[in-house]
A = this chain, B = another copy of it.
Amino acid sequence: MLHELPTLSHLLKVLQQVPYLASKNLYRVAAHFLEMEPQQIAQFCATLESAKKKLKKCDVCFYWQEVGATCVFCSSAQRDQTIVCVVETWQEILAIETTRGYVGMYHVLGGSVSPLEGIGPEDLTIDSLIARAENGVVKELILATNQTPEGEATATYIARKLKGKSIAISCLARGLPVGSSLEGMDRLTVFKALSERRPF
């Protein structure tokens, strides 16, 4: 019945381009927007447009910063300038910040090297990272890319680029998640937890 309602089917098509709206949720989300008051829709749109206008990427770490303000990480006097945590996307910074266990700098790569999707090292912010690592201030890089083939390949690429430089390179610990049981865990995680075991 959708082809006879071009406005509704166009709305569904546009919403479908938003990630994480699978086909069942799609209708519910469309219902949500159709039941909003016109002024609520205007507010929603104003928020999207102003976010686009008011946020830009930091030239150093590539996290978001308010236009006209300084980067919350790069300009902070409380944070350790000698250590840089390298992540694929800015969302990962939020995950690390919630732990309150890290007070160093960040570097957002903007993704991972993925030949299948046509993403090479030159499409990421790796050159800026290398330049940053050679500035004399940074003493350690933590490679916190995802535990995927692409994430690990990206980490390996960066580590190779910095080989021979006087900079420590580390990566996140791998093993059993907190609260997990061996029984429910996948084979590879158990293997990593065994082979990378540590003194008790």
Residues of A participating in the B interface, judged by any CB pair closer than 8 Å: 1-2, 4-8, 10-11, 14, 18-21, 25, 27-34, 36, 38, 41-45, 47-55, 64-66, 72-73, 89-91, 93-94, 97
Q: Which of B2, B21, B51, B89 contacts A11 (CB 8 A)?
A: B51
Contact flag A45-B47 (CB < 8 Å), given A21-B20, A25-B20, A65-B5: no
Pairs A–B under 8 Å by Cβ, sample size 28: A1-B72, A1-B97, A2-B94, A7-B55, A8-B51, A8-B55, A10-B47, A11-B47, A11-B48, A11-B51, A14-B43, A18-B32, A18-B33, A19-B32, A20-B20, A20-B28, A27-B90, A31-B90, A33-B48, A34-B52, A34-B64, A36-B52, A38-B52, A41-B45, A41-B48, A44-B45, A44-B48, A45-B45
Q: Which of B11, B19, B47, B55 contacts A28 (CB 8 A)?
A: B19
Residue of chain B at shortest CB distance from A14: B47
